[in-house]
Structures are given as structure tokens and as C-alpha cells.
Structure 1
């Protein structure tokens, strides 16, 4: 429960608390801090310690109670929380297309916050584009998590390329050959065939599949023809070509053979331990991978690639953006946030999280403890192990990743930021993201499992292309045709035909 209004604090790295006297020599009655509960997603192996959390609480003037959901089980855990009404003041929602989530949002489980945003200076800066993309049927049921439009690319071990006399790949075929060489030609020089090309995880979106799919010309989730006809991405030629590509990697042993059941943390740990040389994901993961490799693979050198195409032509460059830069919502259930006063309290708290000071805390930690900073606001992490324990788990909780002056001094992170910004030019947006299909909201997640399962079975050689096409037909008959029809009507109403 929210017990009192959040109050802004002083510099988070100062020892002065938020209840300090306003003027020297004066005494101020201590104010009871609000306690804000937060059901949040954890992308690291363990939750953070309290060191940085205490500073965030000091700045925001609130006590924060986190309930962490591991990323690997977030869909199941969130569905359970919604069904049992075991929520929190703030719920991090990253599964915007999940039918249970969309139904809960539309059913009025969470506050609609559009009328309140402009009361708070940082929330007021959220652009109309983000507000629109994050809305459902024109209503905004939480603070949009603002991220880069297209963050993904390919991370490759440069030291292995150099060892084998290979150039950075520019085409999907060259990337395949690099994966083959990393598997067969002993890139780590230990005389044992114990490496693979790709290290992937069980995620068709944030793992390798969707990025490789972009390179094969697949649209982002949906496509719309000039005459307004809507088709799902898995009915495109590019999707099938990507399945064939992944199947070729699997059949050749050029990808970890358990990729269909590998969690993100295991994927990153395995890469850091030198078991593979290609990682497809967010480009800024490169520095995290290098940090994980410290003391294990100290000779690791990484390069990042965002310009891979089928033929190497600049005109073919593309990268997916299913959510158009919206990473989800910070939503506020009415069962926990009882009235407008409490809503304003929790909105004030999120507004404070978007300050430069708290962004620095959640990204880099505490100055002179975790990092140093120069006159250009470039940060150098000075204690990587401590940063991983006390800071890194907070990074996915930042309401916004955009527009802050403080930045990483590390060349790898600087290059990642440059490439991610460059991706914006080539991003393929999801044309249906802000539109509504009632059938998709009610059944979309369950229906999609039909195609997801068929995709994995095809890539693993357990089923044929005919079997995959039968699964797509089943998807259509089970509600997919209705979803397409509803999206076509919504698109026509919003944009004309």
C-alpha cells in the first residue's frame, strides 16, 4: 500500500536523506515514507543487493518492495498473478501481445493514465508516438517502457575470426560459413572439437531467429499490402527461409543442439565460457558478455554487426521492431492502487525514476563505488563484479533508456549505441502494434503456440514443411482468419485502404 506522497530527494550519492531539514538549524518532522511494491522481471541470475536500492529509495523518498519474476518464466508467472489477483502497486508488463495481459488491460484491471501524465515533468516528456504505440484501443494502461526502436544484431568473436583467417561476414551465407568454421576448425586452439558457431536460446523473438528472419526479408509480425490485406509473418517466404537456415545450422551442429530449451542466462554464460563464437541479440549485450568472460576467456575480442543481408546489398538492410520501441508497460492495478491520490503517488515515484540521477544509479551504480566519470559524462566501470551484483539487475527496470547525457566510456558500449541508433534507419515496424483485434487479445497467445511449436519441430527435423503448413492452416481455422479480418478492419479505420 502507498502510505504517503513520494517526495523528491537530494543527490542519490549524497548521504543526506529525503527527510533532512530544509534549512540548517531548523528541524523538520520526519515524514513516513510510502511503501511501493513492484512485481518486476529479473534478467540476471540473482536479484540485486540493497546497496543501489537504498540509494534509489533515498532519492525517491519511498520504500521499494520488489517481487522478482525470472525472465524465463515471466509469461507463466504473470498469467498466474493476473488470475489470482496477486499483483503489486507496479507491475512490469513486457508481454504486450499476451492475450491474458491484453484482456486484463482492456477489462479495467489497471488504471488508464493518459489524463495524469502531463502533471509530472518527466512523464510529460513521453512522446505522442510512444503513447500511441503503447495504447490499446486508444487508452494507455501504464507508463511505456521507452527503448531503442531496433536494438538487435550479431555479436562475433573477433579473436576467433583472426585465428582462422576469416573476415567479418556481410551476408547470411558468409555468417553460416563462419558458424561452420567455428564448429569444425578449433578456433580456441585447444585441440578438441568442443565449440559451436551459434549459442542461442529458446526464444523466437529475442534469440537468433527473428533477427536472422529480418535478414531474410521477413516482416515484423504482420505485413500489410497496398490494398490493405494483412498477413502474419509466418506466411512469408522469408520466415520459411529462416527456418531452413536454422535447420541447416542445427543439422550441421553449428548451433548449440539444445537451443530450443536454453534459457537466456545459460546462453550468455555458455558464450562467455568459450563454447560458441556467435551470439545474436541486443547489441549492447556485447559488453555484458565480455564482462562475464573475465577470468574465463580473457583473450575474448568481440565485434558487432548490424549490416548483414542476403546478398550484401545496402538496399536489403532490415531489422525487426515488433514493439516500435515500446518495451512494455509499468502498470498500476486498481486492486492495489485504490484511488487517484495513490495513483498520483506511484506516478510521482515513476517520474522520479526517470530522472538523470536515478537513471545513473540503475545503469552505472554509485559514483566512486561502481564507476568514475569524466567531464564529458563518460562513465568507466571500476568494479565489474560489484556492478554485476549490485547494479546490472536494475537495468531492465528503467522506465526509459533514451535521452540521457551520461554514457558509457567503454568503446564496445559506445559502438553498440552507435549501431543501435543506426538501426533506426532500417527498422521494420509492426503495423498492427497499436491496433486491436479482439480475437487476438482473447486467443492470440494460445493460437501462436501452434505455429511456434511447428517452427521448432521443423527446425529440429521432427516435422516437414507440409506439417508446418498444416499448423498454419490450423492456426487460421482456429481463429487466425478472424484475427486477420479484425486487423484489416482496424487498419482501414485508422489509416484508410
Structure 2
């Protein structure tokens, strides 16, 4: 391995020189990030072609342990709006760290799925990068039709031999902690073609984040324990404060901002099984009408945005101080004890705003939980056109677990992306630019992320109060226990239905509109029931059920 300190010093000098010339205001940084997004899209195509040529010529080739040249490892990942640059200081540092030539193309999340699917449609392994990040489809699965078709045609590596036969999972410090359920949820037709980068909490979006300062001011410190109590509690605090009861600004009722509330009334997530073993879509399940009536009561009282169907995200934003509560991840209210160093609320809000989180509340059929159906989020797939030596190199460097690597993955490089002052990380304006351009903190979408204690990371490290830390641990325990108590599962995981793939989005195209119209009083109960029957009695819905059943039977043998 080359001299890392020498490399760091050189990169720091270069970064400071560039930053001194760039020296821009916050508004200019935003414009610069947007320009970087456009530049990356154009530049990515050129660099991918250059990388292909470079690999063919074996220029700058990295040798494996056997001495075989593997050429450049090309990668395509998702840019979630931060504007990382090609060949950034961070990319160059990883090349030095791993002694390998990397070509990373970060594509805007708005364009990523279309770009990947266009590449996959060619049906040729040579047309896609060596490693691609796979984005989930609208129903939360990663084996969506276009990707599944690419797998079927042999475009991606079956990773079972590397992960299990050669015992990578068993010997990897991070992966060996993952459950059998997580690995089962990576499989397609019994084999693993996608590799998770980190595991998730079992029911993350189950936290009812609230304004505790309002609770204290208006005498609402006794926390609700049921859905009915929650409704009255929200309505009362909304009326007293003059704010919306709930942040809600979307016509999508699968959205995590309300999905957990529906679970309390239906006892299932997006899909469930009825007593006869039929697969049931949540809006068509028994009890969903009670959830809609719960939402309708808030709407009729003027306690949610009356124009929520217009997607006006800022109108009822909890972080902007415009609503009492927000159903979100149970760890996303991690306000520092001083309410300033980690503010949580928008920067322009008063420092008197105080964040808190209610425990999941109980409904007629369960708790207000939003199950993470797969147990992981980001994942990657490896091009089957790679040589055996390159596949092994990818498995090696993309699954590193040493402490130095993990620290760099999360925080970047000392001296280049931050400085240590009195034991604390201090980031200058120049380093902020370097961090943005290098996508510091974003590489865990393609590289392996550690199994962090999320309370430690989100609360203790953010200097939250002891009371907040205790509540966070209480929330984590409660969500895990209540998922088990309810037997909450996602029965459609890894089940393939051609009718679903081909017809589902068209079949339920009007579903969210009908729910919204019922809540707004435009459609009555008879109208809703007629709509549900028109779907559940349709040939397509029945075919989906039969195909899911057949796939489930095949899965268990």
C-alpha cells in the first residue's frame, strides 16, 4: 500500500488551493451543487467509456493477490442531491487506500432508475458498470421486473459461492451479525444477486415525533396510549396551539407519514394474509375504513392541511414548526440537550422548540408500526461479465471492516475533510466543499457500513439529554417487541407475480385518489366499498393472489 500520509498531504494542498479560488457563499454552494449534478450526468458517460477502454488496455491495472491485473473497477451509485464530483479527493483516497483504480459515477436519484434500466435493457453485461447500486421499486422490493429480467439473462453474479460457500458472511465482522431473515430477503429464485450495505431497524418509521414545548405549555404532558386517545390529544393540542395536528402533505397513503397509523387498524403492513390464506393489499383489508375515518376526523376539524392532495410539503412541516406532530423514524428527533448544536428543527425556528417522541400507540388490531419489510436498504449487484479475479477484488474491498476504514467511511480524511481540535471534529468552509464534492458519508451506499448502535450514534454522539437517550432505547425496545407481539411480517417478500409486475400500477391507479376523496367527504362509504369490490373481484387481482400463492408454495418447497 502506498504512503497514505503523503497522499493526504498532497490532496489537502490541492483541495485548499481549489477552495481558496472557489470561496463561495451558502447560496453559491447550492448553485454549485446543482451544476455538479448536471456535470456529473454528462461526464459520467464519457468517463465510463474511458474506463472501458482503460480496462481493455489494462492501463493503471490493480494486481490481485495472484498477480493478475483486474483493470479499472467501474461503479454507478445514487447521488441523493449532494452533488458529488467525479474523481473527487475522496475517490482518489479510496484508490490509494485499496490500491485499486476506481471510476465512480454518481447519478442523481431523480434519474438513476431510468439510467440503470436503460443500461439493463441492452441485455449486454459489457454495457453496464462492474458494480451498480440497485434502487428499490415502488412496492419496496429490489427484484423489480427490469432488474429481475437482467438477472434471469445472466447479467449479474450469483454471490452465494463467495458469501456462503467460502464463508465470507461467517468471517465478516459486520455481516455475521445479520439475521437469517435479512439474507433470505436478498434472494431471487433461491440465490443471492444483491448485497446489502447495512441493516435497518425492524420498524423505523414508527416514531410519533412531537413538540414537547407545546405539550408543557398547554398541559398535554400525559401521553396518549391508544389511537383514539392520540386523535383527541392531537386535536386538542392543535386547537390550543393554532398549528396543524399532523404533518401531512401528500395524497400517497402508503407514505411513511401515515402508514404506521393504518397498521394499528388493520394489523398488517402493505400486504397481509387473511384467515383463508389470501393475500390482501392494506387499503382493502378489514379495518382500513376505520383508519380512513380516523384521518377524516382530523381533516373535518381542519387539523391537517385541507389541500394535502397538492403535495405542499412546507405547509404543515413539523421541522418548520407548523404542526404538532410528525410520524417519522423513531430516532429522528435527536435534539441536543442545548437545542442548538444539533437543532433538529429548521435553522430559522426559535431555540425554544423542544422535540420529543411518543411511544407507538395501540389500535384495534395492533400498534402504530411501519415495518421495514426487508431489513436492509441500500444494496449493490456485480456485473457477471467481470473476471473471476475482479469479482474477488470487489468482494474484498467493498466488504472491508477494519476500524480505520469505517472511520473514513463515516467522517472522511483528517486534514482534508475535518480537523481535530481539542478532541472534537472541526470542519472549515473549505472542508465542507471538499466533503460535498467527495460525498463523505454517502459511500456507505456502495461500501459496507458498520452495525452501529443507532441510539449511540444518533443520540449520545449528538449530546442529547439523558432523558432523551432513555426514551430512544425505550422506543427501540418497544418497536422490536411489538412487531414480534403482532407477528407483523411482509408475506410478499421474494414472491414474483407476472400479473403484479405488469398490471398492478394500472390496477390501483385510482386508489390514493379514492382514499383522499373519502377523507375529504367527496366519496361516501358505499362509493368506497364499490371501488374496493371492483378491484378485489377483478381478474387481475385474483391472478395476482394465485401467483403469489404459487410462488410462496415454491419457496417453501
TM-score norm. by structure 1 comes to 0.75
The 1:469/1:347 distance shift into structure 2, 3 A limit, reads farther
Partner of 2:285: 236
Q: Give the C-alpha shift of residue 480 in structure 1.
A: 1.4
Pick one of 271, 282, 285 that aligns with 2:318. 271
The answer to which of 434-443 and 119-128 deviates more is 119-128
**CA deviation vs aligned residue, 1:118-141 (integer Å, no higher than 9, x gap):** 454538635432121221221222
Q: Give the C-alpha shift of residue 481 in structure 1.
A: 0.8
Partner of 1:3: none
Q: Give the C-alpha shift of residue 240 in structure 1.
A: 2.2
Partner of 1:332: 382
Partner of 1:220: 269
Pick one of 479, 483, 494 that aligns with 2:544. 483
Q: Is the 8 A contact 2:262 2:368 kept in 1?
A: no
Structure 1 CA distance for aligned equivalents of residues 284 and 317 of structure 2? 33
Structure having the higher Rg: 2
SS at match of 2:157: coil
Q: Is the 8 A contact 2:133 2:445 kept in 1?
A: no
2:168 matches 1:129:
no
SS at match of 2:234: helix
**CA deviation vs aligned residue, 1:212-264 (integer Å, no higher than 9, x gap):** 1122233123323465333222221232222222233233332234544548x
SS at match of 1:244: helix
Q: Is the 8 A contact 1:324 1:429 kept in 2?
A: no
**CA deviation vs aligned residue, 1:91-142 (integer Å, no higher than 9, x gap):** 2322253444444444544332222224545386354321212212212221
Structure 2 CA distance for aligned equivalents of residues 417 and 53 of structure 1? 36
The 1:157/1:124 distance shift into structure 2, 3 A limit, reads closer
2:115 matches 1:115:
no
Partner of 2:353: 300
Structure 2 CA distance for aligned equivalents of residues 221 and 34 of structure 1? 42
The 1:134/1:301 distance shift into structure 2, 3 A limit, reads same
Partner of 1:423: 479
Pick one of 340, 348, 355 that aligns with 2:396. 348
Pick one of 208, 217, 220 that aligns with 1:163. 217
Q: Give the C-alpha shift of residue 308 in structure 1.
A: 0.9
Partner of 1:436: 496
The higher-RCO structure (CA 8 Å, 6+ apart) is 1
Gaps of 5+ in 1: 1-6, 18-29, 187-192
The 1:494/1:240 distance shift into structure 2, 3 A limit, reads same
Partner of 1:23: none
The 1:55/1:422 distance shift into structure 2, 3 A limit, reads farther
Structure 1 CA distance for aligned equivalents of residues 510 and 264 of structure 2? 24
Structure 2 CA distance for aligned equivalents of residues 418 and 384 of structure 1? 37
SS at match of 2:333: helix
Partner of 2:133: 91
Structure 1 CA distance for aligned equivalents of residues 310 and 420 of structure 2? 39
Partner of 1:249: 298
Structure 1 CA distance for aligned equivalents of residues 480 and 397 of structure 2? 30
2:367 matches 1:317:
yes
Pick one of 177, 180, 187 that aligns with 2:232. 177
Structure 2 CA distance for aligned equivalents of residues 392 and 269 of structure 1? 29
Structure 2 CA distance for aligned equivalents of residues 290 and 117 of structure 1? 41
SS at match of 1:304: strand
Q: Give the C-alpha shift of residue 156 in structure 1.
A: 0.8
Q: Is the 8 A contact 1:454 1:468 kept in 2?
A: yes
The 1:229/1:197 distance shift into structure 2, 3 A limit, reads same
RMSD: 4.3
Aligned runs of 1:408-419 on 2, under 5 Å?
A: 408=458, 409=460, 410=462, 411=464, 412=468, 415-416=471-472, 419=475
The 1:68/1:487 distance shift into structure 2, 3 A limit, reads same
Structure 2 CA distance for aligned equivalents of residues 451 and 10 of structure 1? 56
Structure 2 CA distance for aligned equivalents of residues 467 and 320 of structure 1? 28
Structure 2 CA distance for aligned equivalents of residues 324 and 463 of structure 1? 35
Q: Give the C-alpha shift of residue 331 in structure 1.
A: 2.1
The 1:308/1:341 distance shift into structure 2, 3 A limit, reads same
Q: Is the 8 A contact 1:102 1:441 kept in 2?
A: no
Q: Is the 8 A contact 1:117 1:124 kept in 2?
A: no
Q: Is the 8 A contact 2:279 2:545 kept in 1?
A: yes
Q: Is the 8 A contact 1:309 1:316 kept in 2?
A: yes
Partner of 1:204: 253
Q: Is the 8 A contact 2:399 2:447 kept in 1?
A: no
Q: Is the 8 A contact 1:150 1:424 kept in 2?
A: yes
The answer to which of 385-394 and 323-332 deviates more is 385-394
SS at match of 1:174: helix
Structure 1 CA distance for aligned equivalents of residues 529 and 491 of structure 2? 24
The 1:472/1:345 distance shift into structure 2, 3 A limit, reads farther
Partner of 1:40: 78
Q: Give the C-alpha shift of residue 301 in structure 1.
A: 1.3
Structure 1 CA distance for aligned equivalents of residues 261 and 540 of structure 2? 28
Partner of 1:25: none
Q: Is the 8 A contact 1:451 1:468 kept in 2?
A: no
Structure 2 CA distance for aligned equivalents of residues 174 and 8 of structure 1? 63
**CA deviation vs aligned residue, 1:128-172 (integer Å, no higher than 9, x gap):** 321212212212221024212211221111111112111233222
TM-score norm. by structure 2 comes to 0.68
The 1:185/1:292 distance shift into structure 2, 3 A limit, reads closer
